[in-house]
Structure 1
Amino acid sequence: MSEDQAALIDEISEVLEGVLSRRIELKPEMNIVNDLGLDSIAVMNFTMALEDKFDISIPLHDMASVVTVQDLLRTIETLRSDA
């Protein structure tokens, strides 16, 4: 994992902490729903918080394909580079 990806994981972790009110050490292979215990409302809150943090808009069809933290990293990186 690159330094940029490690920094991005730290930023995502901060956002997640704000949504869940607890700290979780994220790893790229973690499943966002199963490993992090997010229900559908928490996923939507997490998505909106990510959009605010990174000043991006995550289309629902993109979010539907995000299963792992690594998928989320790729999605955020792609959306940020397209902006």
Structure 2
Amino acid sequence: MSEDQTALLNEVSDVLESVLNKKVELKPEMNIVNDLGLDSIAVMNFTMALEDKFDISIPLNDMASVVTVQDLLDTLQTLRSAA
């Protein structure tokens, strides 16, 4: 994992911790729903918090293809570079 991705992972982890109000150790291979136990409302809150944090808009069709934390990191990097 590159230095940029590690920094992004830490930022995403901070956002998730603020949404869940608990400490979370994210790993790239983790399944966002199954491993983190997020329900649909938590996923939406997490998505909105990420949009606020990174000042981006995450299209729903992009989020539909996000399964793992690595998928999320890749999507965020793509959206941030396009902004």
Question: TM-score w.r.t. structure 2 length?
Answer: 0.99
Equivalence for 1:15: 15
| 1:53 partner amino acid | K
* Per-residue Cα deviation, 1:12-36 (whole angstroms, up to 9, x for no partner): 0000001100011100000000000
Equivalence for 2:73: 73
Q: For 1:49-64, what aligned pairs fall within 5 Å after superposition?
A: 49-64=49-64
Equivalence for 1:39: 39
Structure 2, unaligned runs of 5 or more: none
Tell me how many residue pairs correspond in the alignment.
83
Equivalence for 2:27: 27
Q: Separation in 2 of the partners of 1:45 and 1:25?
A: 18
Structure 1, unaligned runs of 5 or more: none
